[in-house]
Amino acid sequence: MNILFKRDTWQEIYYSLRNNKLRTFLTMIGVGWGMFLYVSLLGAAKGMENGFNKLFSGFATNSIFLWAQSTNIPFEGFPKGRAMQLHLKDIEYLQKKIPQIDYISPQSVRGNFGTPGDQISRNGKKNTYMITGDFPVGNQISKKKLLFGRYINDADIAGRKNIIVIGEEVYKNLFDAKKNENPIGKSVSLKGVFFTVIGVFRVAKGGGMENDRSAYIPFSTYSGLYNEGDKVGFLAIVGKPDADVSVIEDKVKQELKIINHVSPEDTNAFGSFNLAKEFKKLTGFLTGMQLLTIIVGTLTILAGIIAISNILLITVKERTKEIGIRRALGAKPSEVRNQILLESVVITLSSGLLGFLGGIFLLMILNIATMNNDSFPFYNPTVDYSNVFTAMGIMIFLGLIIGLIPAQRAVKIRPIEALRTE
């Protein structure tokens, strides 16, 4: 189109927009605000998704947590209300019976599930914390961020070693954290027994199912310390990548009911928390947010484009005499039409770009504000530029289509009638 390369064309567009500054500004607000909402909300939704992914990055999200409770149905001569108990031998049995299981991590805990914690002391400093007996595989379920040292290994389990991995809050209370004191190799007291510190871990604030006011010791050591034998507090069960964790959950309960002589209809004997199901709900919610963002942004942009058409209709009416003079001087109908269409595209594109830049700027501010805030699940609010440019292309296309209405009206103006207009 030769019109694009004519200096006079762009001068006319400039003067037309300049002479109606307020009207042009108000017209651009609609499309600009729509693009701003589209970019900022889409980026914010992605930031929340990234934040939750970061929050659960150390977790095996395809897992369930299962614990023993009490029966609520009498069965095979056993009365209602019989207390259940998990054992280490159950792990091998479940892995044989249910091939969809990838691995199982048994744990026992003091200071959670209604049980009191225990006191850890050092050099006169003491406090009560949650104590967990764990296997090395437990760190695969919930990967801990180590500030010092290492986690429990197989040798610690086999040797029933008196070693301990403490949370950051325990470290701060018992050691000189301000001077960054290295606690590795130093001793703390638990139930009158000295334990050697081999690691310090940190848990993201508000992040997950753990806290850093806790300590981990080998499961074998825990069993001896608290005279638990082969009893297990709960099982963390991870399914294989292609397995349905809900199916695993049902099968595990079914098998445990069989070996413990519990009624198949008993719903209380074993409790569970399906992390995979809850995580799927969360990701579904975030996907819904992104879809809603696209719908809201698109509708807002469309409303703005319609507003541009209305404004251009008014402009054409006001420029009736001008258009008539141009036609009388030899301007072709196509030139008049293209002029109006180009004005529509210029307004649409300019307002869209301003909205886009405004949205990106807002996301940059949000990213800086939440960068080191572990308590808020928000991280790296990026935008898929292909989506944005697609929306921009659609926006320009719609601007052209909508602009045809005032453009056709301008073409229909007869020079003789326009010149008679006062």
- Tokens representing 359 are 């949205």
Residue 102 has pLDDT above 60, yes or no: yes
- Tokens representing 14 are 């400039």
R_g of the chain computed on alpha carbons: 34
Rounded to whole angstroms, how far apart are CA atoms 306 and 266? 62
Residue 169 has pLDDT above 80, yes or no: yes
What was the pLDDT predicted at 417?
A: 59
Per-residue pLDDT tens over the stretch 279-310: 788 778 877 877 887 787 777 777 777 776 77
Q: Mean per-residue pLDDT for 239-253?
A: 91
Residue % of the chain over a pLDDT of 90: 39
Q: How far is CA 227 from CA 74, 133, 207, in A?
A: 30, 12, 32
Please state, as a whole number, how many other Cβ atoms lie within 10 Å of the Cβ of residue 15.
10
What was the pLDDT predicted at 207?
A: 47
CA-angle at 135, arms to 89 and 181, nearest 5°: 160
Q: Mean per-residue pLDDT for 54-61?
A: 66
Region label for 264, one of left (φ > 0), alpha (ψ between -120 and 50) or beta (otherwise): alpha
What was the pLDDT predicted at 280?
A: 80
Which residues fall within 8 angstroms of residue 310, CB to CB, at 6 or more apart?
Answer: none
Report residue 362: phi and psi, to 5°.
Answer: -65, -45
Residue 329 has pLDDT above 90, yes or no: no
Rounded to whole angstroms, how far apart are CA atoms 36 and 30? 10
Specify the higher pLDDT residue, 21 or 228.
Answer: 228
- Tokens representing 126 are 């003491």
Average pLDDT, the chain: 82
Q: Which of 47-51, 115-119, 398-402 has the lowest mean pLDDT?
A: 398-402
| Strand spans (E) along 209-368 | 214-218, 231-232, 234-239, 270-274
What was the pLDDT predicted at 141?
A: 81
Task: Choose among 22, 14, 86, 48: nearest CA to 236.
Answer: 86
Rounded to whole angstroms, how far apart are CA atoms 253 and 245? 12
Residue pair 163/195 in contact (Cβ under 8 Å)? The answer is: yes
Instruction: Give how far the C-alpha of residue 27 lies from the chain's centroid of Cα atoms, to the nearest Å.
Output: 35
Q: Which of 114-118, 152-156, 351-355, 397-401 has the lowest mean pLDDT?
A: 397-401
CA-angle at 259, arms to 257 and 261, nearest 5°: 60
Amino acid at 142: S
**Exposure b/e, 299-311, CB count within 10 A at least 16 = b:** ebbbebbebbbeb
Residue 7 has pLDDT above 70, yes or no: no
Task: Choose among 249, 251, 174: nearest CA to 215.
Answer: 174
Residue 208 has pLDDT above 60, yes or no: no
Q: How far is CA 275 from CA 17, 49, 134, 249, in A?
A: 57, 17, 19, 11
Compute the 3-state secondary structure of the chain and give helix, strand, coil in percent, each to the nearest 5.
55, 20, 25
**201: enclosing H helix or E strand:** strand 193-202
Q: How far is CA 404 from CA 337, 351, 408, in A?
A: 8, 19, 6
What was the pLDDT predicted at 384?
A: 78
What was the pLDDT predicted at 418?
A: 54
Residue 339 has pLDDT above 80, yes or no: no
What was the pLDDT predicted at 140?
A: 83
- Tokens representing 116 are 């009191």
Q: Mean per-residue pLDDT for 1-17?
A: 62
Rounded to whole angstroms, how far apart are CA atoms 204 and 373? 9
Please state, as a whole number, how many other Cβ atoms lie within 10 Å of the Cβ of residue 172.
15
DSSP string, 209-225: T--SSEEEEEHHHHHHH
User: pLDDT grade, residue 15 (50/70/90)?
Assistant: low
Per-residue pLDDT tens over the stretch 127-161: 999 999 999 998 888 788 899 999 999 999 999 99
What was the pLDDT predicted at 340?
A: 72
DSSP string, 122-175: ETTEEEEEEEEEE-TTHHHHB--EEEEE----HHHHHTT--EEEEEHHHHHHHS
Specify the higher pLDDT residue, 329 or 382.
Answer: 382
Residue 206 has pLDDT above 50, yes or no: no
The helix/strand/coil state of 383 is coil
Residue pair 253/127 in contact (Cβ under 8 Å)? The answer is: no
Specify the higher pLDDT residue, 181 or 421.
Answer: 181
What was the pLDDT predicted at 116?
A: 86
Residue 330 has pLDDT above 80, yes or no: no
Residue pair 152/165 in contact (Cβ under 8 Å)? The answer is: yes
Token pair 């010092």 is found at 148
Residue 38 has pLDDT above 70, yes or no: yes
Rounded to whole angstroms, how far apart are CA atoms 38 and 291? 11
